[in-house]
């Protein structure tokens, strides 16, 4: 739209026609106070805080609803305006309690700030304040009515933003009150959006209420450890008895790929970290068959010695390694390097939740069925979509998956895009997923019909015969000039290639392959596969890896996860090293299968797998370390160390120490201090959480080497960037906390079709998160609270 | 989504159900039928019970919460049973200046119930309400859909007695 020119407080400004005055001012650094206005939500004009004087208009006007106009002359601060705002605050304070000293929002409350600014602390009201007791509406949401200033932000974000519509407003005038959908309680998605958006302390969370004061915490922006969306969450940490405890998770910093959003997991499901039953001492199985605590040296020495014996006696092929979906890229990378160079085995795998090798191959090459590795690269350069793209794309095709449950961040981006930009959303699913409510068209197909659908969309009419809805969908998609295609784990192997091939019929298309956990993508990219090195390089073509590693690598593909357990059952697996994974529960492995295998488990809790271990090493979680993770969309982001727990070590450190105990040279494993500097072992676990990251940013900004210790993940990041060109994104932006989309050309593997399909979707919901989720009290209590309601609805 | 009249599951009489079927088609958005629908439903059922709210929400295609939000806005709409004769006494400015509060107090004593109470025989209920639009003839009260104006304690006694008699007349 054309720009208009107008004057605010004597300054000439320009903004596109149609821009709201409040936004135009904010863009130019002029802050107009607002309680009810919230960018991206419908306009409410309920609070009158934003009033300004516009020349030639008789009364004060609300800047939040007034579009800028040519030659408009505006005053945003004057005695008259200050008086009006002060009067508004006085009215708001009429029934407002004076409980700032105990209110969760105290210190970060917009009402406090405005009262401070306009000085409306003397009330003319002498009437007794209407008091109501605080109510608990759900495990997550508490409501303190007297604090509410009726800005309707919560109502709008829950309805418009979340498409849940669980909050309403009842009665009127001074008696008006926010009400939950089930009269005295809430039945909702428990996202906490309403709590975070509340400008005062009327809505508070079960997690954080009355726990601490905001200024007593450090705030660390890092990446949520749950699903594959990789939302930025800000963790509030406070010194506890044995480290830095996380007391709060929220979304103060809205610069992340999730914008305003966090789901219950990113906001509240950090509580596993503070659990009493967390492992904090290494355990070794004793002669009596019981696990008993030992000190770190004993545990590492023992595990290393056993691994060395088995490797030396039976060869690396007798050892298996299972990696994690929740460790950093550096840790996953290091694990495969350790397996391949120190243990000498390709028996390495992880719980796969999407077929990334097939996806990567499909993006690079169009392989005609049966054309094998010589297929012509007709589709070279087909791009992958970033999560950010879903917030602005004109058209989106969503195939399979249920984003509302499995990718809440993606679902938010899509809903927001549909609501604000009228994006067209096409959904095909075998279930009536909630996102269909935003869809331009929704097609329900049978569960096994996804390949047929792709064939049909590609022009094979016989594939979905006589389906009028499908015909309409195809028509609509073909009319799109650009399209994002996101698909779930319903697509694997050849189906992925077929889908990408279909995309070549469209002018501009980008794809997203959805996986389930925070670093599922990173685990795949970093080579936690028996046949693929980092970047999906086949193990048989390891030349430049061998060169970098300075040692030959095993050239034959190793055992995949299922084969490892088969081998164990046959007695052919002498040792198994499991890092941050619970295959016994996930794959329903019979514990007896491991009776002849020396088992080392590195985890936070005594999981079903850890219970069988000979050595258990207590590990730090993603909130207790630094490094990078890659979300399902290929967005590379830095995680920052927020919390700290005495007694645990990062997986990174544990791998390095274990390698040391096996007699490997840590310098070969982690290329640290190559310029001769070796120092600073303590930095990574400083008392000041986040310190190491700030240190890292400072070093990078001064072109210095931050790689000072063998436990410094950034030394490995450098190596990853050398060996996996897709990861060679600007270092500085990454360290500064900006998400960086991977570069194209991730892989050069050619044939995806022949690989065995081992994708096992986690089928997590909004309130579950694999094994980790079971250790979250908040997630458990929400599931508990919902049980009766669900049976009743059946 | 449209509900057929006489469909199994409607809690309204066939005539009212049919009326509702029509009502939702009369406006550009179904939602506009909400308030009339609630009024008719209240007349038939006596108050807006949970099943009424559920069916109205379903007929219009909004959440029950939305329906409750609207109900709570209007004092005319109630979610608890009222007496057969619902006495609503205005105490807003004009009525207050001309003795509305006295009328209310008088009714409380006479009927032996507090504000929002119902007499044990279910015949009368009492409610203090905001302006009912009869300011020119203040103080005013409304009993069901009848207005009674320029009230005095004596006059309201007569009004109440009249309803009592009318009820006896119906033989119930
Ligand atoms: S927690 Fe989320 S879904 Fe529940 S009421 Fe608040 S905004 Fe709505
Ligand atoms: S609860 Fe908070 S967000 Fe909701 S209306 Fe009240 S003040 Fe606004
Ligand atoms: S959507 Fe995923 S990444 Fe975002 S907060 Fe929820 S679980 Fe975490
Ligand atoms: S911000 Fe403009 S009226 Fe509330
Ligand atoms: S004030 Fe009583 S009718 Fe208007």
Question: What's the CATH code of the domain at A98?
Answer: 3.30.70.20
Q: Report CB contact under 8 Å: B65, A181.
A: yes
Residues of A in contact with B72 (CB under 8 A): 170-172, 179
Are A681 and A637 members of one domain? yes
Going by alpha carbons, the residue nearest to atom 8 of ligand 1 is A158
In whole angstroms, what is the distance from residue A621 CA to residue A609 CA?
17
Q: Report CB contact under 8 Å: A170, B69.
A: yes
Angle at alpha carbon of residue A718, lines to A717 and A722, rounded to 5° = 115
- Count of residues making up chain B: 172
Instruction: Give, rounded to a whole angstrom, the gap between the first and last alpha carbons of chain B.
Output: 40
Q: Report CB contact under 8 Å: A165, B64.
A: no
Looking at residue A733, its pLDDT comes to 83
Question: Does a structural domain hold residue A276?
Answer: no
Q: Please name the residue that has the structure tokens 């070794």.
A: A284
Q: Report CB contact under 8 Å: B65, A166.
A: yes
Are A373 and A419 members of one domain? yes
User: Is A263 close to ligand 1, i.e. is its CB under 6 Å away?
Assistant: no
- Burial classification of residue A133, based on how many CB atoms lie within 10 Å of its CB (0-12 exposed, 13-18 middle, 19 or more buried): exposed
Q: Report CB contact under 8 Å: B73, A170.
A: yes
- Choose one of A741, A757, A782: the last residue of a domain: A741
Are A502 and A378 members of one domain? yes
Q: Report CB contact under 8 Å: A168, B73.
A: no
Looking at residue A1, its pLDDT comes to 65
Q: Which atom of ligand 5 is nearest to the CA of B132?
A: 3
Q: Which atom of ligand 3 is nearest to the CA of A267?
A: 5
CA-based radius of gyration for chain B: 18
User: Is A409 close to ligand 3, i.e. is its CB under 6 Å away?
Assistant: yes
Burial A572-604 (b: 16+ CB within 10 A, else e): bbbbbbbbbbbbbebbebeeebbeebbbbbbbb
How many Cβ atoms are within 10 Å of A81's Cβ, its own excluded?
A: 19
Query: Ligand 1: which of A137, A148, A192 to mutate, most ligand atoms within 8 Å of CB?
Result: A192
**How far apart are the CA of A768 and the centre of ligand 1, in A?**
17
Are A360 and A349 members of one domain? no
User: Is B62 close to ligand 5, i.e. is its CB under 6 Å away?
Assistant: no
In whole angstroms, what is the distance from residue A493 CA to residue A511 CA?
15
A195 neighbors A157 (Cβ within 8 angstroms): no
Residues of A in contact with B1 (CB under 8 A): none
Looking at residue A754, its pLDDT comes to 62
Are A504 and A527 members of one domain? no
Residue A177, phi then psi, degrees to nearest 5? -150, 145
Question: Does a structural domain hold residue A364?
Answer: yes
Looking at residue A713, its pLDDT comes to 85
A462/chain B closest Cα distance in angstroms:
33
Question: Does a structural domain hold residue A759?
Answer: no
- Burial classification of residue A293, based on how many CB atoms lie within 10 Å of its CB (0-12 exposed, 13-18 middle, 19 or more buried): middle
The pLDDT averaged over each successive group of 10 residues in chain A (794 residues) is 92 96 96 96 95 96 97 96 93 87 90 86 76 93 95 97 97 90 95 97 94 91 97 94 92 92 97 95 96 96 97 97 97 98 97 94 61 40 87 97 97 98 97 97 94 92 85 93 95 92 88 97 97 93 89 93 96 97 95 96 97 98 95 95 93 96 90 52 44 56 58 86 90 82 66 73 94 95 78 43
Residues flanking ligand 4, CB < 6 Å: A 34-37, 45-50, 62, 64
Question: Does a structural domain hold residue A506?
Answer: yes
Sign of CA dihedral B100, B104, B105, B109: positive
* Cis omega (within 30 of 0) for bond into B139: yes
Q: Report CB contact under 8 Å: A171, B66.
A: no
- Count of residues making up chain A: 794
Q: Report CB contact under 8 Å: A168, B66.
A: yes
In whole angstroms, what is the distance from residue A697 CA to residue A294 CA?
37
Are A29 and A106 members of one domain? no
Question: Does a structural domain hold residue A73?
Answer: yes
Helix (H) or strand (E) holding A238: strand A232-240
Sign of CA dihedral A475, A480, A481, A484: negative
How many Cβ atoms are within 10 Å of A31's Cβ, its own excluded?
A: 10
Q: Report CB contact under 8 Å: B64, A181.
A: yes
**How far apart are the CA of A25 and the centre of ligand 4, in A?**
14
Closest listed residue to residue B51, CA positions, set B79, B73, B70 = B79
- Choose one of A721, A741, A761: the last residue of a domain: A741
Q: Does A185 touch chain B (CB under 8 A)?
A: no
In whole angstroms, what is the distance from residue A316 CA to residue A582 CA?
23
What residue spans define the domains of chain B? 14-73, 85-170
Query: Ligand 4: which of A41, A43, A45 to mutate, most ligand atoms within 8 Å of CB?
Result: A45
Nearest neighbour of B65 by CB, restricted to A168, A171, A172: A168
Torsion, CA A481, CA A484, CA A488, CA A494, rounded to 10: 60
Least distant ligand from the CA of B90: 5
Looking at residue A694, its pLDDT comes to 56
Sign of CA dihedral A384, A387, A389, A395: positive
Q: Which residues pair with A383 in a beta bridge?
A: A510
How many Cβ atoms are within 10 Å of A407's Cβ, its own excluded?
A: 30
Under DSSP, is residue A559 helix (H, G, I), strand (E, B) or coil? coil
**How far apart are the CA of A411 and the centre of ligand 1, in A?**
15
Are A613 and A716 members of one domain? yes
For testing contact with chain B, the best of A155, A156, A170 (most B CBs within 10 A): A170
A222 neighbors A232 (Cβ within 8 angstroms): yes
Tokens of A289: 């068959």
What is the complex's ipTM, to 2 decimals?
Answer: 0.79
Closest listed residue to residue A690, CA positions, set A237, A257, A255, A268 = A237
Q: Which atom of ligand 5 is nearest to the CA of B131?
A: 4
A549 neighbors A341 (Cβ within 8 angstroms): yes
Q: Please name the residue that has the structure tokens 């939500």.
A: A41
Query: Ligand 2: which of A45, A178, A186, A197 to mutate, most ligand atoms within 8 Å of CB?
Result: A178
| Residue A156 domain boundaries | 91-205
Q: Which atom of ligand 3 is nearest to the CA of A631?
A: 3
Are A120 and A64 members of one domain? no
Residue A82 Cα distances to A33, A79, A90, A112, A754, angstroms: 11, 5, 12, 16, 72
**How far apart are the CA of B101 and the centre of ligand 5, in A?**
12
Residues of B in contact with A180 (CB under 8 A): 65
Question: Does a structural domain hold residue A690?
Answer: yes
Are A587 and A506 members of one domain? no
**How far apart are the CA of A52 and the centre of ligand 4, in A?**
11
- Burial classification of residue B81, based on how many CB atoms lie within 10 Å of its CB (0-12 exposed, 13-18 middle, 19 or more buried): middle
Q: Report CB contact under 8 Å: A168, B69.
A: yes
In whole angstroms, what is the distance from residue B149 CA to residue A676 CA?
99
Nearest neighbour of A171 by CB, restricted to B64, B65, B73: B73
| Closest chain B CA to residue A184 | B65
In CATH terms, the superfamily for domain B85-170 is: Glutaredoxin (3.40.30.10)
Q: Which residue has the higher pLDDT, B9 or B147?
A: B147
Tokens of B84: 């057969």
The residues, any chain, with a CB within 8 Å of residue A713's CB and separated by 6 or more, are: A328, A330, A331, A625, A626, A627, A628, A652
- Choose one of A514, A547, A581: the last residue of a domain: A514
Are A360 and A316 members of one domain? no
Distance of CA A24 to the CA centre of its chain: 32
Mean pLDDT, all residues of chain A: 90
Least distant ligand from the CA of A88: 4
A600 neighbors A282 (Cβ within 8 angstroms): no
Looking at residue B6, its pLDDT comes to 44
Looking at residue A696, its pLDDT comes to 57
How many Cβ atoms are within 10 Å of A285's Cβ, its own excluded?
A: 17
For testing contact with chain B, the best of A155, A172, A174 (most B CBs within 10 A): A172
Looking at residue B89, its pLDDT comes to 96
Tokens of A706: 């931050």
**Between A and B, how many residue pairs show a Cβ–Cβ distance under 8 A?**
28
Are A596 and A717 members of one domain? yes
Q: Which atom of ligand 3 is nearest to the CA of A224?
A: 8
Residue A73, phi then psi, degrees to nearest 5? -120, 120
Residues of A in contact with B63 (CB under 8 A): 165, 168, 181
């Amino acid at each position: 739209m054309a720009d208009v020119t107008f004057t605010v407080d004597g300054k000439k400004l320009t903004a596109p026609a149609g821009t709201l005055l409040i936004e135009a001012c904010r863009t130019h650094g002029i802050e107009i106070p607002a309680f009810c206005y919230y960018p991206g939500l419908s306009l409410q004009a309920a609070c009158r805080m934003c009033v300004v004087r516009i020349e030639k208009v008789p009364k004060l006007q609300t800047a939040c609803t007034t579009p800028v106009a040519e030659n408009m002359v505006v005053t945003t601060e004057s005695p008259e305006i200050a008086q009006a705002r002060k009067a508004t605050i006085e009215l708001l304070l009429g029934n407002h309690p004076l409980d700032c000293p105990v209110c969760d929002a105290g210190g970060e409350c917009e009402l406090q700030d405005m009262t401070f600014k306009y000085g409306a602390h003397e009330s003319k009201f002498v009437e007794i304040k209407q008091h109501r007791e605080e109510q608990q509406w759900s495990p997550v949401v508490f409501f303190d009515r007297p604090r509410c200033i009726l800005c309707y932000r919560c109502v709008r974000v829950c309805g418009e933003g979340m498409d849940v519509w669980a909050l309403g407003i009842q009665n009127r005038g001074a008696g008006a009150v926010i009400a939950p959908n089930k009269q005295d309680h809430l039945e909702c998605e428990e996202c906490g959006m309403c709590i975070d958006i509340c400008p005062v302390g009327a809505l508070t969370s079960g997690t954080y209420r009355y726990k601490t004061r905001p200024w007593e915490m450090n705030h660390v922006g890092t990446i949520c450890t749950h699903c594959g969306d990789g939302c930025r969450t800000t963790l509030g940490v406070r010194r506890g008895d044995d480290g830095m405890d996380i007391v709060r998770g929220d979304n103060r910093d809205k610069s992340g790929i999730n914008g305003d959003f966090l789901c219950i997991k990113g906001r509240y499901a950090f509580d596993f970290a503070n659990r009493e039953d967390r492992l904090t001492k290494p355990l070794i199985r004793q002669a009596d068959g019981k696990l008993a605590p030992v000190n770190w040296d004993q545990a590492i020495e023992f595990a290393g010695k056993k691994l060395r014996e088995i490797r030396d006696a039976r060869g690396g092929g007798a050892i298996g390694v299972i990696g994690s979906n929740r460790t950093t890229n550096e840790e996953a990378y290091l694990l495969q390097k350790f397996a391949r160079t120190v243990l000498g085995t390709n028996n390495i795998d992880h719980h796969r939740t999407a077929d990334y090798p097939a996806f990567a191959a499909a993006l690079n090459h169009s392989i005609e069925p049966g054309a094998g590795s010589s297929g012509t690269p007709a589709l070279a350069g087909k791009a992958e979509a970033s999560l950010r793209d879903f917030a602005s794309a004109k058209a989106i095709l969503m195939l399979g998956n249920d984003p509302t449950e499995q990718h809440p961040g993606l679902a938010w981006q899509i809903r927001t895009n549909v609501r604000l930009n009228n994006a067209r959303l096409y959904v095909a699913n075998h279930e009536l997923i909630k996102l269909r409510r935003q869809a331009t068209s929704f097609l329900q197909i049978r569960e096994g019909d996804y390949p047929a659908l792709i064939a049909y969309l590609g022009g094979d009419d016989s594939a979905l015969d006589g389906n009028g809805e499908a015909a309409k969908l195809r028509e609509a998609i073909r009319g799109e000039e650009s399209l994002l295609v996101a698909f779930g784990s319903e697509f694997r192997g050849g189906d992925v290639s077929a889908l990408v091939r279909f995309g070549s019929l469209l002018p501009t298309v980008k794809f997203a392959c959805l996986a389930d956990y925070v670093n599922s993508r990173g685990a795949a990219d970093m080579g936690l596969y028996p046949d693929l090195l980092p970047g999906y390089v086949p193990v048989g073509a390891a030349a430049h890896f061998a060169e970098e590693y300075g040692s030959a690598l095993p050239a034959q593909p190793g055992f995949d996860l299922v084969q490892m357990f088969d081998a164990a059952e046959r007695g052919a697996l002498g040792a198994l090293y499991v890092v941050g994974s619970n295959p016994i529960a996930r794959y329903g492995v019979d514990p007896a299968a491991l009776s002849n295998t020396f088992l080392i488990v590195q985890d936070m809790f005594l999981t079903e797998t850890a219970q069988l271990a000979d050595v258990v090493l207590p590990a730090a979680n993603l909130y207790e370390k630094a490094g990078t993770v890659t979300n399902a969309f290929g967005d590379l982001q830095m995680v920052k160390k927020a919390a700290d727990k005495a007694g645990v070590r990062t997986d990174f450190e544990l791998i390095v120490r274990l390698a040391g105990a096996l007699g490997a040279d840590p310098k070969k494993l982690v290329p640290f201090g190559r310029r001769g500097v070796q120092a600073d072992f303590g930095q990574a676990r400083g008392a000041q959480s986040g310190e190491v990251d700030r240190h890292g940013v400072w070093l990078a900004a001064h072109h210095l080497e931050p790689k000072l210790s063998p436990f410094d993940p950034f030394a490995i990041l450098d190596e990853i960037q050398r060996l996996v060109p897709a990861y060679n994104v600007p270092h500085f932006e990454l360290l500064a906390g900006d998400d960086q989309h991977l570069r194209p050309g991730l892989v050069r593997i050619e044939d995806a079709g022949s690989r065995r399909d081992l994708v096992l979707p986690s089928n997590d919901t909004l309130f579950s998160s694999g094994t980790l989720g079971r250790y979250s009290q908040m997630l458990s209590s929400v599931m508990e609270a919902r049980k009766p309601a669900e049976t009743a609805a059946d | 989504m449209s509900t057929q009249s006489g469909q199994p599951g409607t809690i309204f009489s066939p005539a009212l159900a049919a009326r509702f079927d029509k009502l939702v088609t009369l406006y550009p958005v179904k939602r506009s039928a909400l308030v009339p629908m609630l009024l008719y439903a209240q007349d038939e059922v006596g108050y807006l019970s949970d099943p009424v709210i559920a069916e109205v929400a379903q007929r219009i295609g909004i959440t029950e919460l939305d329906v409750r939000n609207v109900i709570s806005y209007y004092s005319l709409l109630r979610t608890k049973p009222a007496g057969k004769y619902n006495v609503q006494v205005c105490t807003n400015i004009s009525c207050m200046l001309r003795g509305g509060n006295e009328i209310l107090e008088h009714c409380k004593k006479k009927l032996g119930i507090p504000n929002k109470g119902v007499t044990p025989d279910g015949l009368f209920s009492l409610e203090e309400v905001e302006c009912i639009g009869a300011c020119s003839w203040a103080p005013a009260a409304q009993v069901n859909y009848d207005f009674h104006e320029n009230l005095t304690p004596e006059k309201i006694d007569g009004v109440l007695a009249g309803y009592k008699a009318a009820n006896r007349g119906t033989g119930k």
